[in-house]
Each structure stands twice: as structure tokens, then as C-alpha cells.
């Protein structure tokens, strides 16, 4: 397709909702509260919010600039712009996405399981024990297969449009259910403790733990905004030139962040009420926290099915965007048919995910390595490229923007502060991984 007749987003809201559909998923609802719990509560929230605004939003614009200017996917974009060597950044993103998808599917499998288990009330009596029973083993493997199969069918048939439509209806439904659960949490005995833990940082907590909080907050910000994988490059390749990238970016970041904050408000009051210490549940935080809340509500079975069912659709729409990047790469590069490419990718993702379905520690390891290493490294390369090598970034970001000072300020920020902060984050991530790796490997009980 020549650049003039390339398809474009029909409406501004259509693009924003599609990008929000990719961004809102397990990252907001499952991963965010789990990170808050592991990093000690409110101190993490503060650093995370600062990171989202100061780094996440400008970094989304970096992907938008590459995407709209090249009108290509992340692998072909650099060649099209005349910088072939940078293709390596696109490849790294695709690889990271492939690994993320392998455990994302296992977590989405848990969600599938909980949708069914809500109907029978299986986890109501003992939310924490139930999670530990089903999180790893044959059951988890089976639901991983099921979810990956479902994703593959949708991507293989090329029918993601239908899902995107469903997401537009379900995001509001999800928000409504979350509001309900938040209001319920407010009435619980543990509410005050829960809010204090989540919202009020202890003095000195950030300074004392910043070397682990910063890489965790950065990883969470990239993960939740679908950054570092070229998803936003691909979406932006369809935005027309009159539109302000800055305005669209702000909407996407704002909606995504609001949903994450709500997930925390929903979960922490419950954890304190049922006596589960935040962080102790690890990757189970969402299931234990919300499971406990739902169990206490009238009409709990229906609410449970609706809640986990909507989370499942949100997870599916994100999973599609993750899988699609690798599939379209195989189609474009090697001329494979869509069903064949999808079969190869889905099969590979399933196999790679098997260890994460058998042991929670492995899942947390995959998760940490991708979020804290692959994503920031890819974003670092993209920021370096746009800030220092690509001459036309300023021109691209200025389109449709009325505040004259803004594009220049953005570019300066990208070239200096963002590059330095992500650079420091990467060093801390690598240090942290080296320190914890031996312990983690020892704790793995696969064999």
C-alpha cells in the first residue's frame, strides 16, 4: 500500500480506544497490585506515578513518532526511515513480547479458571489457599493451553476487530464492577489500614528502598502502557497527520493509570480484612484480594463471574496485541500464511510458558526479566534513536500541537532526563537480577 492510501483511524476516539484496549489488561489489574505489595505499598505508588508522568507519557510519544512517520511495523519502521541498523531495537521488542506472552497466557488461564470457579463459589471459603492450589501444576497448564488456543484462533482468523468492539463495551463494565468492589472495600474493617498502606508513604521509605523501587516502577510503567514492544509504533502508523500525538498520548496514559489505581483501592482493604499481608500473596494478590471481597458480597457468584469474565476479555485484547506483533513479523518477513504463522507463534509461546505454569517462582522470574530488562532496554534504544539520531522527530511531534514550546521541551527531555533515568534504571535492574538470581533458581522446584 502506498502511503497515501494507507488505512487510517476513522475517528480519534477509535484510535484511543484501540490503544487503551491494548494497554488495559492484566498489567493494570493483576500486575500492578502485585508490584505494590512486593515493593512495600505507598512508596511504590508515588515513584510509579512520577515515572508514568515524567517518563511514560513522553516515551509513548517516542513510539508514536516512529510509527506515524514510518507508517510501518516496528521491524520495518527503521529501514523505512533510512536507519537500518536500528532494526535491532524492533527485534528486541518482538522477542520481549514473545516471552511476556508466554506467562501472560498462564495468568490469563488463572482468570479463566476463576471465572468458572466463581459460578460454583469454589474459592469463597479460603481465597488464599485456593489460589495456591490452582496456580501451578496440571490445572494451570490446561488453562494456559485453553487461553493460548483462544488467542490463536482470533489472531489466526484475523478477527481482532470483533474483540476490539467488545472491549469498548467491556471497559466501562469493568470500571463499574471495580467501583462496586471499591465501595464494598470501604465498608470493611481493614479499610483504614488498607488505604494507609496503599496511599500514605512512610517518611524515608522511598529513600531507603529506591534501588529496588525504581526498576520495579519503571518495569510496571512500560508493561502497563504496552511500551517497549512496538505496539504503539504499529498503532500510530495509522494516525493521520493533523492530529496531536501529545493529546492522544495523554488520554491513553490517563485512562490506563486510573484503572490501575482503582485496582489497588479494590484490593488492599480486603487483604487487611482477611488478614493476608500484602506482598505475601505474590502473584496471587489480585485473586486473593478480589476473591475475598467477592465472597463477602450478596450475589457473590454472579458478581464473580462478571468480574473475572470482564478481566478475561481485557486480557484477551492485550494478548492479541502481544501475539499479533510476532505473527505479522513472520508474515511480512517470511511470506508465511496467517494461519501458519499463528500456529508457529502460538505453539512456541505455549511451550515457552510451560515452566511458568508449573512453578510460581519461574513465572515471577520470567515476569521480572522481561519487565525490568527487555522493556527498558528496548525503550532506551528507541529514546536514544529519536533523541539523538533521527532528525525529523521534532517536525513530527509538532504536527497539530498549538503550544509552540511543547515539542522543543519534549525533545530536550527525551535527549537528557529520560535517557539518564532509564539508563540508571537499567543498571539497577541488572544489579538486582544478579543479586536475586541465585536465590530464585534455588527456590525453583520444577524437577
CB 370 → ligand TRP: shortest distance, Å? Answer: 8
Q: How far is the CB of 241 from ligand TRP (least distance, A)?
A: 25
Q: Which is nearer to ligand TRP, 295 or 377 (CB)?
A: 377
What is the grid cell recorded at 91?
527485534
* Residue 43: CB minimum distance to ligand TRP, A: 22
What is d(CA 86, CA 88) in angstroms, rounded to the nearest whole number?
Answer: 5
The CA distances from residue 128 to 120, 280, 330, in Å, are: 17, 10, 41
Q: Are 107 and 308 a contacting pair, CB within 8 Å? A: no
Q: How far is the CB of 104 from ligand TRP (least distance, A)?
A: 7
**Do 385 and 132 touch, CB atoms closer than 8 A?**
no
Nearer residue to ligand TRP within complex by CB, 191 or 225: 225
Closer to ligand TRP at the Cβ: 231 or 286? Answer: 231
In the complex, least distance from residue 229 CB atom to ligand TRP, rounded to whole angstroms: 4
Cβ-proximal residue to ligand TRP, closest one:
27
Smallest distance, ligand TRP to C-beta of residue 227, A: 6
Distance separating the N- and C-terminal Cα atoms of the chain: 51
Residue 188 zone, left/alpha/beta (φ > 0; ψ -120 to 50; rest): beta
Q: Which residues bind ligand TRP (CB under 6 A)?
A: 22-23, 25-28, 97, 100, 223-224, 226, 228-229, 231, 318, 321-322
What is the DSSP code string of 312-378?
A: HHHHHHHHHHHHHHHHHHHHHHH---HHHHHHHHHHHHHHHHHHHHH-HHHHHHHHHHIIIIIHHHH
Nearer to ligand TRP, 97 or 194 (CB): 97
Considering beta carbons, is residue 226 or 368 the nearer one to ligand TRP?
Answer: 226
The CB-of-242 to ligand TRP minimum distance in angstroms stands at 27
CB of 57 to ligand TRP, least distance (A): 15
How far apart are alpha carbons 126 and 327 in whole angstroms? 41
Q: Which of 311, 313, 304, 27 is nearest to 166 (CA)?
A: 313
What is the C-alpha separation between 144 and 138, in angstroms, rounded? 10
3-state secondary structure of 2: coil
Q: What is the Cα–Cα distance from 273 to 278, expressed in whole angstroms?
A: 11
Minimum Å gap between C-beta 303 and ligand TRP is: 22
Cα pseudo-dihedral 159, 343, 317, 219, rounded to 10: -150
Cβ distance to ligand TRP smaller for residue 29 or 393: 29
Residue 228 or 387: which CB sits closer to ligand TRP?
A: 228
Of 134 and 371, the one with the shorter C-beta distance to ligand TRP is 371
* C-alpha cell recorded at residue 236: 500510530
CB-nearer residue toward ligand TRP: 206 or 371: 371
188-205 residues labelled b (16+ CB within 10 A) or e (exposed): bebbeebbebbeebeeeb
Amino acid at each position: 500500500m502506498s502511503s497515501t492510501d494507507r488505512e487510517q483511524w476513522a475517528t480519534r476516539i477509535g484510535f484511543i480506544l484501540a490503544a487503551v484496549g491494548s494497554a488495559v489488561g492484566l498489567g493494570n489489574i493483576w500486575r500492578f497490585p502485585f508490584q505494590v505489595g512486593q515493593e512495600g505499598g505507598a512508596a511504590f505508588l508515588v515513584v510509579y506515578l512520577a515515572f508514568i508522568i515524567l517518563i511514560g507519557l513522553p516515551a509513548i510519544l517516542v513510539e508514536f513518532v516512529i510509527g506515524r512517520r514510518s507508517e510501518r511495523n516496528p521491524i520495518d519502521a527503521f529501514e523505512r526511515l533510512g536507519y537500518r541498523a536500528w532494526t535491532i531495537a524492533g527485534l528486541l521488542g518482538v522477542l520481549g513480547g514473545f516471552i511476556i506472552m508466554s506467562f501472560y497466557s498462564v495468568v490469563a488461564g488463572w482468570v479463566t479458571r476463576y471465572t468458572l470457579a466463581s459460578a460454583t463459589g469454589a474459592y469463597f471459603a479460603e481465597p488464599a489457599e485456593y489460589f495456591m492450589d490452582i496456580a501451578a501444576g496440571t490445572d494451570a497448564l490446561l488453562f494456559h493451553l485453553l487461553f493460548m488456543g483462544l488467542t490463536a484462533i482470533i489472531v489466526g482468523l484475523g478477527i481482532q476487530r470483533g474483540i476490539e468492539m467488545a472491549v469498548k463495551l467491556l471497559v466501562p463494565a469493568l470500571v463499574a464492577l471495580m467501583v462496586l468492589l471499591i465501595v464494598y472495600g470501604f465498608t470493611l474493617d481493614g479499610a483504614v489500614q488498607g488505604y494507609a498502606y496503599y496511599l500514605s508513604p512512610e517518611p524515608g521509605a522511598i529513600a531507603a528502598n529506591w534501588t529496588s523501587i525504581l526498576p520495579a516502577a519503571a518495569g510496571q510503567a512500560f508493561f502497563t502502557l504496552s511500551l517497549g514492544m512496538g505496539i504503539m509504533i504499529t498503532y500510530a502508523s495509522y494516525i493521520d497527520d493533523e492530529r496531536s500525538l501529545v493529546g492522544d498520548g495523554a488520554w491513553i496514559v490517563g485512562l490506563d493509570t486510573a484503572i490501575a489505581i482503582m485496582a489497588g483501592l479494590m484490593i488492599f482493604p480486603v487483604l487487611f480484612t482477611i488478614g493476608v499481608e500484602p506482598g505475601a500473596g505474590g502473584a496471587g494478590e489480585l485473586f486473593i484480594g478480589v476473591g475475598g471481597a467477592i465472597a463477602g458480597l450478596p450475589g457473590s457468584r454472579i458478581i464473580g463471574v462478571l468480574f473475572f469474565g470482564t478481566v478475561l476479555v481485557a486480557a484477551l485484547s492485550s494478548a492479541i496485541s502481544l501475539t499479533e506483533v510476532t505473527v505479522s513479523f513472520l508474515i511480512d518477513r517470511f511470506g508465511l500464511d496467517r494461519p501458519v504463522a499463528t500456529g508457529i507463534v502460538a505453539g512456541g509461546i505455549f511451550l515457552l510458558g510451560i515452566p511458568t505454569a508449573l512453578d510460581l517462582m519461574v513465572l515471577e522470574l520470567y515476569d521480572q526479566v522481561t519487565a525490568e530488562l527487555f522493556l527498558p532496554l528496548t525503550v532506551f534504544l528507541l529514546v536514544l534513536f529519536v533523541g539523538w539520531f533521527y532528525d525529523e522527530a521534532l517536525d513530527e511531534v509538532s504536527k497539530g500541537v498549538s503550544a509552540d514550546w511543547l515539542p522543543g521541551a519534549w525533545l530536550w527531555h527525551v535527549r537528557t532526563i529520560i535517557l539518564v533515568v532509564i539508563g540508571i534504571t537499567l543498571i539497577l535492574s541488572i544489579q538486582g537480577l544478579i543479586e536475586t538470581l541465585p536465590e530464585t533458581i534455588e527456590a525453583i522446584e520444577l524437577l
